[in-house]
Structure 1
């Protein structure tokens, strides 16, 4: 079990070692892939105040698990900051996977909370709704009533679930 925890930690460090230019490029590519495969996500992006894109999150676990990755906050097509998502978990879990993740900030108050909090623990603060493919199809601009919408995409590997409970998002300053 210790080898798995060590592997998750080293994988997370590798993901988090990206430079500003690499993160921006990876975020552009990930968001383009999402919009190409999900017109509803594109509509959501057009309506959102900002989008926080995590191009690659690494998740692994064997009873004890973890996940992590770096992301880019975009508002009006401009980069507004860089963030890291990290989580640990314990329970009936086994496997490893990578995936991309986009958080669409609909309200200004949710975006302000991200900026003002010293690390946002998902589950506290603004309300967040995870949109899987089925729920995304049912959304339109009149049904968007929550503060933040989360869209996981591009999953590779084998791992049960994509839960965000206990995840923490913190602002970072990556290397130039």
Structure 2
């Protein structure tokens, strides 16, 4: 009887790893080209502005926007996430970044999601760009914004220097956070 109890957690972990491997695109291993990243960023921005009322106006007031589309996250008590994206200023790609993070604690499942950091102040954007490995929650606080019931952003209540959004989730993951995630500039 005890052998079966030990075997079940092992099988669950193996199944989660298989699901994560099946969901993970080849870009994790080889890195995406600048063109691939820009196409994915464009699609993510289009989805965000189409689905969220007031998004275009909100993004137009930003000093810079970092979009990391198709972030892969998975875990079973120990988890990780990875994605590649672009920093845009004035609608133009300035730099490319990766997001990588690991965590330990209550989490189970696998998912794909889009992450967006909106820099509302020039000082926060400059600090991010000058960093060699900017870590959310350590090098800067990211206020995670909620999208309203009607799919809208209440811009009158957002006063933080950096505002984060997680959207477009596919899959099932208990426990979503970007705290501790590290953003590193890529050469593309």
TM above 0.5, yes or no, is yes
Q: Shorter-chain TM-score: which interval?
A: 0.7 to 0.9
The CA deviation at 1:8 is 5.6
Q: Tell me if 1:76 matches 2:73.
A: no
36-45 or 114-123, which moves further after superposition? 36-45
The alignment's TM-score, normalised by the length of structure 1, stands at: 0.88
Partner of 1:139: 154
Alignment of 1:158-169 (within 5 A): 158-169=172-183
Larger radius of gyration: 2
Assess if the C-alpha contact under 8 Å between 1:44 and 1:104 holds in 2: no
RMSD between aligned residues? 2.4
Change beyond 3 A, Cα 1:43–1:76: same
Change beyond 3 A, Cα 1:12–1:168: farther
Partner of 2:72: 58
Equivalent residue pairs, number: 173
Q: Distance in 2 between matches of 1:14 and 1:41?
A: 28
Assess if the C-alpha contact under 8 Å between 1:126 and 1:147 holds in 2: no
Q: Distance in 2 between matches of 1:36 and 1:27?
A: 14
Partner of 2:4: none
SS at 2:49 equivalent: helix
Change beyond 3 A, Cα 1:7–1:113: farther
Assess if the C-alpha contact under 8 Å between 2:55 and 2:152 holds in 1: no
SS at 1:39 equivalent: coil
Q: Tell me if 1:86 matches 2:100.
A: yes
Q: Distance in 2 between matches of 1:123 and 1:12?
A: 28
The CA deviation at 1:96 is 0.2
Query: Structure 1: which 5+ residue stretches go unaligned?
Result: none
Query: Structure 2: which 5+ residue stretches go unaligned?
Result: 1-9
Q: Deviations over 1:123-173 (max 9, x none)?
A: 023332111223984622x43321111111110000013211210111011
Q: Deviations over 1:58-109 (max 9, x none)?
A: 0000111100100100101111000011100111211000001111110001
Partner of 2:185: 171
SS at 1:92 equivalent: strand
SS at 2:157 equivalent: coil
Assess if the C-alpha contact under 8 Å between 1:12 and 1:67 holds in 2: no
